[in-house]
Amino acid sequence: MKAGVRALGVAESYRGDVSTLAGVVVRASRVVDGFCFNTCTVGGTDSTDSIASLFSDLAREDIRYLMVSGIAPAWFNIVDLPRLYDLTDTPILSVTFEESAGLEAAIRDAFEGEEADRRLETYRTQPVRRRVTIGDETVYVRAVGLDTSEATDVVRAFTPEGGRPEPLRVARLAARSVDSFRRRS
């Protein structure tokens, strides 16, 4: 992958009822090239729109990929990856870091009735997770707007060491820092 290819990584941190979303633009060469921030509701259903807003606020046509850390930030605020792709017209990759049987049981435990049904309906329409090995590490990737082979190449290209792609690693650090700052204010 060319060194100048850019990805926007989005990760979150939360305390209380608001989650801090951080977006970080990173080149494949590992150069950080921009930041943006937003919020979404803990236990809400606004994460997809909040992430799309991050992308839109940057107004950057040079971002080739949008990476999201996980699919259920802010306590099951499920990201609708196909809808996010439609809103941004950019290939989407959701990366998780642990093997799991899925979120259906956890959603049913956390919510009842229409609240559970709404999240489950969104969750069930997401692409399947694919296992991607990076050195000695394994991540799980859902992709929209690119095939499995390209998604694997993108994740590997943006992961210099360890098992966390650099855009997501830096976004997580930024979200935690902003969240910590907001709590002190």
Residue 57 domain flag: yes
Instruction: Determine the structural domain holding residue 95 and report its residue range.
Output: 6-99+129-180
180-185 contacts, C-beta under 8 A, 24 or more apart: 182/20, 183/15
Let me know: does 20 contact 13? Beta carbons within 8 Å: yes
Please count the structural domains in the chain: 1
What average pLDDT does this structure show over 85-106?
A: 97
User: In this predicted structure, what is the pLDDT of residue 60?
Assistant: 96
What one-letter code names the amino acid at 153? D
- Say yes or no to pLDDT of 67 above 80: yes
pLDDT, average across residues 72-77 = 97
Measured in degrees and rounded to the nearest 5, phi and psi for residue 99 equal -70, 140
Q: Is residue 115 part of a domain?
A: no
Answer yes or no: is 47 within a domain: yes
> Looking at residue 88, which CATH number applies to its domain?
3.30.2170.10
- State pLDDT tens for residues 97-134: 999 999 999 999 999 999 999 999 999 999 999 999 99
Domain contains 108: no
Q: With respect to residue 38, please indicate whether it lies within any of the assigned structural domains.
A: yes
Q: Is residue 122 part of a domain?
A: no
**Count of Cβ atoms closer than 10 Å to residue 51 Cβ:** 27
Q: Tell whether pTM > 0.85.
A: yes
Q: Strands 137-144, 92-96: parallel, antiparallel or unpaired by DSSP?
A: antiparallel
| 123 within some domain | no
Judge whether 1 lies within some domain.
no
